[in-house]
Amino acid sequence: MKESFLTQEKKHFFMNEAIKEAHKALALAEVPIGAIVVLNDEIIGRGYNKRETSQDALSHAEVTAIKEACNSIDSWRLENAQLFVTLEPCPMCAGAILQSRIEEVYFGAFDPKAGACGSLINLLEDTRFNHWCYVESGVLMDPCASLLKDFFKDIRAKKQKKKEMLEKD
């Protein structure tokens, strides 16, 4: 069984950095999800969801942060690195975590519809693969979840308003 040696204070500090990334997505009207990769207490990769802006299916927060981290240390092996992400990774991002040999994964909110780290499947702790991780869920869960909840509430309100305006015409 893998374990974490990070203090609660550090976990909160780094998740807040991932939340800052999520706000960058929000500023582009993208679903607000952010991620960072940490190695020896230093942030070596940052990313936020920009699927609509980039029109690239791969541009999830985690994938962008992992790519930046690999470039940053010029290695595809991110051994001993930690990934912090505001939402439970999807299968693609969980797979990217396995491929890059990230050691520890901390996520905020659960994703019951597409989560691949405990919700629908659990890719990161499946010991049949050649790598597995320490996984901790619910780190700063409330602010991470609120970001998403408020985003979708706002979208629904705008849709309702548009519908009412069309009915008035």
62 catalytic residue (yes or no): yes
Half-sphere exposure of 118 (CA within 13 A, CB side): 15
Integer Cα distance of 167 and 19 in angstroms: 38
Any contact of residue 129 with a second copy (CB under 8 A)? yes
> Residue 60 annotated as binding?
yes
Could you give the string, one character per residue 82-121, with x where binding to a second copy holds by CB under 8 A and - elsewhere?
A: --------xxxxxxx-xxxx-----------xx-x---xx
| CB of 155 vs a second copy, minimal distance in Å | 17
Integer Cα distance of 108 and 34 in angstroms: 10
Nearest to 62 by CA among 45, 39, 42, 40: 45
Residue closer to a second copy (CB basis): 49 or 86 = 49
Strands (DSSP E) contained in the chain are 34-39, 42-48, 82-87, 104-109, 134-136
* 128, 156, 164, 167: residue in contact with a second copy (rule CB under 8 A): 128
Catalytic residue among 9, 17, 30, 62: 62
Other Cβ atoms within 10 Å of 107 Cβ, number: 30
Tell me the window of 40-48, 64-72, 138-146, 158-166 that interacts with a second copy (CB under 8 A): 64-72
Residue 30's φ and ψ, nearest 5 degrees, are -95, 155
Q: Which residues are at the interface with a second copy (CB under 8 A)?
A: 51-52, 54-60, 63, 66-67, 70-71, 74-78, 90-96, 98-101, 113-114, 116, 120-121, 123, 126, 128-130
Which sequence positions are flagged as catalytic?
A: 62
